[in-house]
Amino acid sequence: MDELCNVRFFNGTTGVGLIDIFVNGVLLVGGLEYGTFSPFLRAVPGIYSFELCPRGENSEFFYLENIEFPSAGDYTLATTGNLTNLDFAIIRPEEITDMPISLPNIRFANLVPFYTVLDLTLDDRMAISGLLYKETSEPMEINSGNYRVRIFDSDTARQIMGENNLIIEPNISHLGIVFGEIDSPDSPVKLVLTNDVS
């Protein structure tokens, strides 16, 4: 059995551009673009010091956090917010993603600070209801294919992301991260889809 963690990073920090991520004082990820993932990196379970800074010379760290990865497995460490209100969310696949699957499955994570509760529809049917900020939905089995996804503010039923096309591949565990600006209700909300496990 593998005793190491697989850790990747997602940059959901607005207003910064590219960020550098230092772990225990060593630059591990350089120039991570907004809305993108780093590759998975291998690590021994334990507590690590994470520092973030904007890409470029003479940049100062704007965030420091000690984060524990208690056991082997896959982790997505996502930043959310902006320079004055930055936070981390740790997204870890559920046990179900380690089991053989007969259908693809998908989970969604809410990383939109302005909208603390979200609803998501697939092909105009409610798929996820009441997804709280910094939380991840349970895995949902779904047939492979193309789906129309829309995202709504649960509190007002206002649509906050227009129709996007979601492509579900066969026999894969998917993770959809909803992220965006925090300044106003008119700021754009986006969705990015990736594999849930390394």
- Each residue of 167-188: pLDDT tens digit? 998 888 889 999 886 666 666 7
The rounded mean pLDDT for the chain is: 85
Residue 70 in this model has a pLDDT that exceeds 60: yes
Q: Which amino acid is at 52?
A: L
Q: What is the pLDDT of residue 129?
A: 95
Domain 5-91: assigned CATH number: 2.60.40
26 or 88: which leads in pLDDT: 26
Q: What is the pLDDT of residue 182?
A: 61
Closest CA to 110 of 122, 98, 118, 121: 118
As a whole number of angstroms, the distance between CA 166 and CA 148 comes to 6
Please state the domain extents for the chain. 5-91, 101-195
pLDDT average, residue stretch 145-150: 94
Q: Which CATH class is domain 101-195?
A: mainly beta
90 or 101: which leads in pLDDT: 90
